[in-house]
Amino acid sequence: MMQTLTPHVYWAQRHGEIYLRVELSDARNLLILVEENTLTFSAQGHGAKGENEYGFSLEFLKPVKTEVSHRSTQRQVNITVRKQEHGWWERLTMQERKPVFLAPDFDRWLDESDAELELREKEEKLNRISVESRIPKDPYLGLKKGYLFMYNLVQFLGFSWIFVNMTVRLFILGQDSFYDTFHTIADMMYFCQILAVLEVVNPALGIVQTGVVPPLIQVFGRNFVLFIILGVLEDMHNKPVVFFIFYAWSCIEIFRYPFYMLACIDIKWTLLTWLRYTIWMPLYPLGVIAEAVAVIQSMPVFDETGVLSVPLPKALGLSLSFSYVLHLYLVLMFLGLFINFRHLYKQRRRRFRTKKRKAY
């Protein structure tokens, strides 16, 4: 006759259920009963001490329902016990000292606040499904997704060309590549940034459900630097700062556009998601700093050449230099950095909400 041994048991809870995971392979002759608030388990199978009979009993801290559901796999037995009343238990058993065979199931463990958050998310999901079921489906949804997929694909290819071209030239020419970046890359950057205006148009027309202000700040800021600061002044074309601006922009976009492109066809790639919501944190401020350097370097050129200056009455014999506008733009640039950084950081927190783990 085989001796009855105790298996390893792991537990977790929600407001309405208790989850038990019994480490017992190929369980046979299962007996799981709940009587007088005590769960009794017995079975034959392969546990921590080989093939044997295993069993245990647990007296719960508070009343539970007698109906028990379980599911056996080749590796374990999963048991779900429902609480009589919804609530959070400070421990599992009536006895204060934890049984030696019992441990938290960290794969399913949530503390009370996280469980409440999960419950609210489930309720919101059910409510959203209920509402969506009453809203007519968009007949143009497939067309919109196809358009967004192609837009993001084209932008990804454009910025990938920029990134690869600049990287290869950097390895071949070294620092010499800094001085002719504008002449080799500007045409493709013009194309990508003109196309980026659609990122303001799309939310404005309701094609994507995002705000208009964050993309407006980014697109306007980049295009102002590209077309006004760099495009108008030939003296800026050979500045090394152009390399750093274009490289920072392309490094961000080669992860952002494929993320949105795959989202159009409901594909999620964990590494790409992490990169899309993380890589911008150092690169976005560095890109803005490089843009600010370009603006500052352009100020004396605008003063000397009088390009874009506003002429004043002849009696004054003066003109209002465009550099005054650039002083104001610098302030707005860093204000925009703060607004967009805050917006993107909130997006990242929602995407990667961490769940705290708590011991027994």
pLDDT in tens, 69-100: 999 888 899 999 999 998 888 888 988 888 88
The whole-number pLDDT of residue 247 equals 96
Neighbours of 195 (CB within 10 A): 13
Predicted confidence (pLDDT) at residue 141 exceeds the cutoff of 80: yes
Average pLDDT, the chain: 86
Predicted confidence (pLDDT) at residue 224 exceeds the cutoff of 60: yes
Confidence tier at 290 by pLDDT (50, 70, 90): very high
Report the DSSP pairing between strands 9-13 and 17-22.
Answer: antiparallel
**At which residue do the structure tokens 């390893």 appear?**
8
For the chain, what's the residue count? 360
Least confident of 22-26, 162-166, 350-354: 350-354
pTM (2 decimals)?
Answer: 0.60
Upper half-sphere CA count for residue 98 (Cβ side, 13 Å): 14
Confidence tier at 184 by pLDDT (50, 70, 90): very high
Nearest to 182 by CA among 224, 226, 223: 226
Predicted confidence (pLDDT) at residue 115 exceeds the cutoff of 70: no
Predicted confidence (pLDDT) at residue 200 exceeds the cutoff of 90: yes
The whole-number pLDDT of residue 356 equals 38
Least confident of 47-56, 134-143, 241-250: 134-143
- The alpha carbon of 296 is separated from its chain's Cα centroid by a whole number of angstroms, namely 34
Q: Cα separation of 159 and 208, whole Å?
A: 22
Neighbours of 184 (CB within 10 A): 14
Predicted confidence (pLDDT) at residue 162 exceeds the cutoff of 70: yes
Task: Identify whether 360 is a catalytic site residue.
Answer: no
Catalytic residue among 151, 247, 257, 284: 284
Task: Identify whether 284 is a catalytic site residue.
Answer: yes
Catalytic residue among 291, 304, 345, 360: 291
Mean pLDDT of 168-186: 93
Predicted confidence (pLDDT) at residue 266 exceeds the cutoff of 90: no
Confidence tier at 312 by pLDDT (50, 70, 90): low
